[in-house]
Structure 1
């Protein structure tokens, strides 16, 4: 549940919601739409700058979901709200590819993470020549 003390932050140009700024003593912390801290305690302007510079482009990135099998699963974010986070297996842009959706709690758990260079690609069949 979204704490009442969190203040929504919107991009200055189009007013799109890009995160929150929450109080931390006499300072402020920038919080992403996934509910994760983007900064430690900083002044208000630095919290705004952190959110503005992060923007929303990361929502389109490939993410990895750990714990669904022996290897992490390559996923895309489908829905992010303070009630839940929905991801689905990456379809690589194919409209007829089967996908599996996973509903996760909000804030997003650590098992949902950005893709690392060492993660399996998902498009490569291992062991084929």
Structure 2
């Protein structure tokens, strides 16, 4: 879905009508936005996952998406600087906090970045083509 749609959907007025969807353990996994006869699905990063679908399909999409994607590496594209492999450390509707991926090294210097919510397009999932030795600050 487009960044413009994400930004429109994230306005405070629109969020008043968002329907939270939680897992069985109570953890929030996303929202369903009433849209026409159906519901658009939005993940915790504020990114729209579908156009209008029925209630059951919206719940199923959020359940299948879950939270595991938040533990995966991402790439943060930076204007005027090399892209970095990052990990998400915090997500809220106030902000998204990421840190340079330190691959678990306890003595690595910490570099954190605070991003707006919904997530900008500059934050994208790490892909196989983003291998070490490439331009991603690895």
TM-score by length of 2: 0.83
Mapped contact 1:30–1:37 kept (Cα < 8 A): yes
Correspondence list, 1:22-41, <5 A = 22-41=33-52
2:90 matches 1:79: yes
Partner of 2:59: 48
Alignment RMSD, CA only? 1.7
Question: Structure 1: which 5+ runs fail to align?
Answer: none
Aligned with 1:94: secondary structure? Answer: coil
Aligned-partner Cα distance in 1 for 2:113–2:79? 10
Aligned-partner Cα distance in 1 for 2:80–2:127? 17
Question: Structure 2: which 5+ runs fail to align?
Answer: 1-10
2:20 matches 1:8: yes
Deviating beyond 2 angstroms after TM superposition, the runs of 4 or more aligned structure 1 residues are 68-71
Once the two structures are TM-superposed, the CA of residue 99 in structure 1 deviates from its matched residue by 1.7
Aligned with 1:53: secondary structure? Answer: helix
Aligned residues: 123
TM-score by length of 1: 0.88
Please tell me whether Structure 1 or Structure 2 has the larger radius of gyration of its CA atoms.
Answer: 1
Task: Select the structure that is richer in helix.
Answer: 2
Aligned-partner Cα distance in 2 for 1:58–1:7? 21
Partner of 1:88: 99
Aligned with 1:38: secondary structure? Answer: strand
Aligned with 1:48: secondary structure? Answer: helix
Aligned with 1:58: secondary structure? Answer: helix
Partner of 2:8: none
Aligned with 2:62: secondary structure? Answer: helix
Aligned-partner Cα distance in 1 for 2:22–2:83? 33
